[in-house]
A and B are shown apart, each in its own frame.
Chain A
Amino acid sequence: MNNRLINWFKYASPQSFYPIAGKMIPWFWALAAVFGVAGLYVGFLVAPTDAQQGEGYRIIFLHVPASWMSMFIYLVMALWAALGLAFNTRLSGMMASALAPTGALFAFLSLWTGALWGKPMWGAWWVWDARLTSELILLFLYIGFIALQSAIDDPRRADKAGAILALVGVVNIPIIYFSVKWWNTLHQGSSVSLTKSPSMAMIMLWGMLLCALACWMYSIAVALMRARSIMLERERHTEWVRALLTSTNSGKE
């Protein structure tokens, strides 16, 4: 048990995490590409035209994964934040701030594709229903997190302040979601749920799941890349970064 703990914390130090992250990134990019191509192939060429929504429904192959990821990344971010506060590890804060822009991007994508889907289906770019509104608020929460972190110069304080904000946000997300839901409900009911069998065709579900996996792999790859550059930036005064940079420079020459 004790050994295990030590092993985990070994990779919590930027110095040992940096090379591992570097090795993992190409794999996650490759997986993202494979899942992405497969998902888009299924989505565009295999999945049939929807009986009611025509071809326009195909945007869900991007829309639904983007919404899932935007919510899930916030949870992961809050988890890293909590770990950072609990164990005082440097890497946790770096991971949280590396994830935030990707989460914000997915929240924005989900709103944008939702608008593109809503125009032909509902006849409006935007309606004030529960899920759209809470997605918008989620985007606000991401932006608040990013803004707070970039306003604080000292990275350690920025990490901790961001961590508290992320945790407060995570506690508030269900409250916000339900309050917005009671406030107004117009969105069509969720067609995928864990408890009942999905009401959409199996092949569409597969396309969506493949795309979701692609987004997932993309998020990991991008977050790791961003974390690596944050590491270099923050640890630039340390021995290992200097050694790393000089060795890569001399390698190129």
Chain B
Amino acid sequence: MLALIRAVIGRDLRLAMRRQADIVSAMFFFIIVVSLFPLGIGPEADLLRKLAPGVLWVAALLATMLSLPRLFADDHRDGTLEQLALAPQPLGLVVLGKVIAHWLVSGLPLALLAPVLGIQFDLSTDALWVLTVSLLIGTPALSGIGAIGAALTLGVRGGGVLLSLLVLPLYIPVLIFGAGAVDATVTGLGPQAHLSLLGALTLGGVFFAPWATAAALRIALE
């Protein structure tokens, strides 16, 4: 079981490394979106500090969404997905491996980039730490829930826009608790409660989402 997951992760990471432009462009999308906000709002440090958690988290949501359509599309096009679905191992585990690989190339870099961008918003050191931790805890849930949307829109007309329509409402709890954790640190309350809830969402999402995704993939492959 673990060997299967590891194999899928390894394969997806290798594929991602061969096409680094995709990862890099999603990162730059994140950086650009975050940098646009001060230009639109104005450079007052107080205001920016207040907006930072929400802006960074919303940008992270959008950047994660950008890479979702490719999660299954390439494998679907060349027939790999059908082979994976025919394999004796549960499809859910394969999906779990792909979700983890997706997180490693999208969520993890976002979390590592975020503190650098947080400095632009004049966040304190504590808040920067919590921002990184909240993104580390929360982004796996984004990959997991996003996989359901990616599977449902596989091979569908206008898949990209549709995907955001399906997935963004489901991202709201993650956004609330993720941005809330940073916000609570900025205002002096502890971030523990938010981070715990975020962890619960991620555990639930990563555990259950692959099975819903597998069901959706089977429908798409019918």
Residues of chain A whose beta carbon lies under 8 Å from any beta carbon of chain B: 85, 137, 140-141, 143-144, 147-148, 151-153, 156-157, 160-161, 164-165, 167-169, 171-172, 175-176, 179-180, 182-183
Q: Which of B153, B172, B177 interacts with A137 by CB under 8 Å?
A: B172
Measured between beta carbons, the chain A residues less than 8 angstroms from B168 are 140
B134 CB, min distance to chain A CBs, angstroms: 14
155-201 of chain B: CB within 8 A of chain A: 156-159, 162, 165-166, 168-170, 172-173, 176-177, 180, 197, 201
5 closest pairs, A vs B, by CB?
Answer: A179-B173, A140-B169, A160-B219, A144-B166, A179-B176
A224 CB, min distance to chain B CBs, angstroms: 27
* Any A CB within 8 A of the CB of B84: no
A30 to B2 Cα, complex, angstroms: 61
Q: Given A147-B162, A148-B162, A175-B201, are A167 and B173 neighbors across the interface (CB < 8 Å)?
A: no
Q: Which of A151, A164, A172, A183 interacts with B216 by CB under 8 Å?
A: A164
A30 to B148 Cα, complex, angstroms: 42
* Any A CB within 8 A of the CB of B24: no
A85 to B215 Cα, complex, angstroms: 10
> Is B166 a contact of A151 with CB atoms below 8 Å?
no
A43 to B172 Cα, complex, angstroms: 37
Nearest to A153 among chain B residues (CB) is B157
> Is A157 a contact of B165 with CB atoms below 8 Å?
no
B53 CB, min distance to chain A CBs, angstroms: 13
A183 to B176 Cα, complex, angstroms: 7
Measured between beta carbons, the chain A residues less than 8 angstroms from B222 are 156-157
User: Given A151-B159, A152-B156, A176-B172, 19 more contacts at CB 8 Å?
Assistant: A85-B215, A137-B169, A144-B166, A147-B165, A148-B162, A148-B166, A156-B222, A157-B220, A161-B152, A161-B216, A164-B219, A168-B170, A172-B170, A175-B173, A179-B173, A179-B176, A179-B177, A180-B172, A180-B176
A156 to B218 Cα, complex, angstroms: 13
> Is A165 a contact of B173 with CB atoms below 8 Å?
no
* Any A CB within 8 A of the CB of B33: no
* Any A CB within 8 A of the CB of B212: yes
Measured between beta carbons, the chain B residues less than 8 angstroms from A172 are 170, 173
User: Of B148, B157, B166, B220, which is in contact with the most chain A CB atoms at under 10 Å from its CB?
Assistant: B166
Measured between beta carbons, the chain A residues less than 8 angstroms from B180 are 183
Measured between beta carbons, the chain A residues less than 8 angstroms from B158 are 151
Q: Given A147-B162, A164-B216, are A141 and B152 neighbors across the interface (CB < 8 Å)?
A: no
A151 CB, min distance to chain B CBs, angstroms: 5
Nearest to B193 among chain A residues (CB) is A182
> Is B165 a contact of A144 with CB atoms below 8 Å?
yes
> Is B173 a contact of A176 with CB atoms below 8 Å?
yes
17 contacts between A and B (CB under 8 A): A140-B168, A144-B166, A144-B169, A147-B166, A148-B162, A151-B158, A151-B159, A153-B157, A157-B220, A164-B148, A164-B216, A171-B208, A172-B170, A179-B176, A179-B197, A180-B172, A183-B180
Nearest to A179 among chain B residues (CB) is B173
Nearest to B208 among chain A residues (CB) is A171
> Is A164 a contact of B172 with CB atoms below 8 Å?
no
A175 to B197 Cα, complex, angstroms: 11
Q: Given A179-B172, A179-B176, A179-B177, are A164 and B156 neighbors across the interface (CB < 8 Å)?
A: no
